[in-house]
Structure 1
Amino acid sequence: MVCGGFICTKNALSALNVVYVMVSLLLIGVAAWGKWFGLVSSISVVAAVIGVGVFLLLVAFVGLCGALKHQQVLLFFYMMILFVVFVLQFSISCACLALNTDQQNQLLEVGWNKSEVTREDVEKTLDCCGFSSVNQTGSCPARCFATPQSCNSCSQILQQYAGDVLRFVGGIGLFFSFTEILGVWLTHKYRNLKDPRSNPGAFL
């Protein structure tokens, strides 16, 4: 059978959604594991990652059901949702890759000032105190704060990794955005194919 036929397109679309299911379960599992073992204490960060995982799981479930049953309505909504996600993810990925050092530092400072829990997580994990300078009269959960003179500001450490992390996130985002546009194309193609199990004269 030619791979452009109904069965091959159905299998390709189903396989793509199985991958999405695995990725969504991985996101949920990693977030739960990080919270369980105390690696991340910020509820908002854990909730955001789990929320993304659950959303991706629901989208994949809609796509999988639509592919297996050749349901026009499910496939249409799946295609529209996937296209919107593609536009958002592609834009964010390009922004991550385009940020320069000054913009990265500004973004880090905004995130630093936004959540005290996240700030404490960073200080404890990276063994640093303060964003741009160490406040020796304040408090800090880092080990180095026993002798504040030995502590570095967190911005110095974060800037060493920010570029690599943003490039990694941007690259992964771009990769998955192209799988999403592939899913949109496969769904559009699949919706306009005749189901060989139905009436040969019916166009689904």
Structure 2
Amino acid sequence: MLGGFKCSKISLIALNIFYITVGITLIALGAHWMTSNRVTSLPVIGGVVACGVFLLLVAIGGIYATLKQHQVFLFFYMVILFCLFIVQFSVACACLSVSKETQEGIANQGWATLDYSLKGSVQQTYHCCGFSKDRSDLIFLNQTTEPNRAHPSCEKIETCSNCGAINEGTNSTTSCTCPPCLLQVESVIGQAFRTTGGVSLFFSFTEFIGIWLTVRYRNQRNPHMNGNPSAFL
């Protein structure tokens, strides 16, 4: 009995220390991105930091509840882990099963919301011009006419030729030798979905283990507090 109680207690503490490490890492990443130019979307950074803070608070509460064997705190900790398990397992299944057509649709929506200058950075990084496979966005180079589909000129990209500014309304886009950015980032998008799904699946199973350990720990009597009736529910 003593070994079982200690094993459950140490396992729960170790699991929550792992969550604290992950939470601090997420917060540090958010702070790093905030001071760099790699990520310009404040909602993305805020979401990462918020996830880190939430995970940190949950882990600290879990350690406190474990050390005190507080039945009420352990119960709420178990409920929170169960909710996180449902959400992350659903996200994992969705990311791992998303089709290529859905990925392309999401990528197109993301491209439409990108800042004009950031589109230029993507083109420079991946040596591509425009985004659509059908080149339909190459004719919309004027920010004032089609701001969502407009993109910077590709003249400065060394590997591209004949991809300069095309007069509005001109459909002669076949001379551009640069591939569209969608073709260049397809593998990156697919890898991102697979990585997100794999990480979410891994965390969902750690949360399931945490739920099982919490249930087991709540129903074990502390062998050092046999005389205290409140030490066991």
Fold agreement, TM-score > 0.5: yes
Change (3 A) 1:74 1:143: farther
* Counterpart check, 1:116 vs 2:114: yes
Query: Counterpart in 2 of 1:26?
Result: 25
Query: Counterpart in 2 of 1:199?
Result: 226
After TM superposition, the structure 1 stretch with the greater mean CA deviation from structure 2, 75-84 or 194-203, is 194-203
Partner secondary structure for residue 134 of structure 1: helix
TM-superposed deviation, 1:156: 1.8
Partner secondary structure for residue 223 of structure 2: coil
**CA separation in 1, counterparts of 2:129 and 2:88?**
33
TM-score, length of structure 2 as denominator length: 0.76
Q: 1:173 is matched with which residue: 173, 189, 200? A: 200
TM-superposed deviation, 1:112: 3.0
**CA separation in 1, counterparts of 2:11 and 2:47?**
30
* Counterpart check, 1:58 vs 2:62: no
Q: Count matched residues.
A: 201
Q: Structure 1: which 5+ runs fail to align?
A: none
**CA separation in 2, counterparts of 1:9 and 1:77?**
18
Amino acid corresponding to residue 121 of structure 2 in structure 1: K
Bigger-Rg structure (1/2): 2
Q: Deviations over 1:143-187 (max 9, x none)?
A: 945363565433222212111111111111111110000000001
TM-score, length of structure 1 as denominator length: 0.86
Amino acid corresponding to residue 202 of structure 2 in structure 1: F
Query: Counterpart in 1 of 2:142?
Result: 138
TM-superposed deviation, 1:25: 0.6
Q: Deviations over 1:60-116 (max 9, x none)?
A: 111111111111111111100100110010011011000111111112223333x33
**CA separation in 2, counterparts of 1:143 and 1:62?**
53
TM-superposed deviation, 1:39: 1.3
Query: Counterpart in 2 of 1:104?
Result: 103
Partner secondary structure for residue 222 of structure 2: coil
Q: Would you say the 8 A contact 1:24–1:53 is kept in 2?
A: yes
Quote the RMSD (CA, aligned, Å).
2.5
Query: Counterpart in 2 of 1:47?
Result: 46
Query: Counterpart in 1 of 2:213?
Result: 186
* Counterpart check, 1:95 vs 2:99: no
Q: Structure 2: which 5+ runs fail to align?
A: 144-149, 157-162, 165-175
Query: Counterpart in 2 of 1:73?
Result: 72
The structure in which a higher percent of residues are helix is 1
Q: Deviations over 1:44-65 (max 9, x none)?
A: 1100111111111111111111
Q: Would you say the 8 A contact 1:6–1:190 is kept in 2?
A: yes
Change (3 A) 1:106 1:28: same
Partner secondary structure for residue 224 of structure 2: coil
Amino acid corresponding to residue 141 of structure 2 in structure 1: T
